[in-house]
Amino acid sequence: MLALPPDGHFRLQWTHSVEKTEWREDWRRVPGGLKLERAAIKGSGAGMEPGPDARLVDGWLVWSPKVAPVSTLVIAASGMTASGWTLCASETCQVLGDTAGEAITLRPCQN
């Protein structure tokens, strides 16, 4: 189990398996689940189209996806990249799923 900071914010980062381009998403814990607040990619390509409101910021295409919160977020390593997913919260980062295998489910704990 990984604990989030009190503000519930965390970032997921990974490298796209085909384009070998960095991708990152900023998430926040909200009532009933997790909300994707911002996404950024270092370039576009196969399956990596930025949102319609994307703008270029320090070499990243950055946008705010217009999607509803999710109750769970399931991630899995494809085995096609050099690393897994990196989850960062506050000043701490943890690599998840650095080898292909079982899916990892992220969800808020029930109080």
Higher pLDDT, 12 or 20: 12
Confidence of residue 22 (pLDDT cuts 50, 70, 90): confident
Any domain includes 4: no
Residue 18 has pLDDT above 80, yes or no: no
Q: What is the structure's pLDDT at 95?
A: 86
CA distances from 77 to 13, 24, 94 (A): 12, 15, 14
Any domain includes 84: yes
Any domain includes 2: no
CA distances from 103 to 46, 74, 93 (A): 22, 6, 19
Confidence of residue 21 (pLDDT cuts 50, 70, 90): confident
Q: What is the structure's pLDDT at 2?
A: 66
Model confidence pTM above 0.75:
yes
Domain of 14, in residue numbers = 9-106
Average pLDDT of span 43-64: 86
> Which residue do the tokens 């576009």 mark?
44
Average pLDDT of span 55-64: 94
Domain total in the chain = 1
Q: Report yes or no: 24 and 13 within 8 Å, Cβ to Cβ.
A: yes
Q: What is the structure's pLDDT at 44?
A: 72
Q: What is the pLDDT of residues 73-87, one digit of tens each?
A: 888 776 666 667 899
Any domain includes 3: no
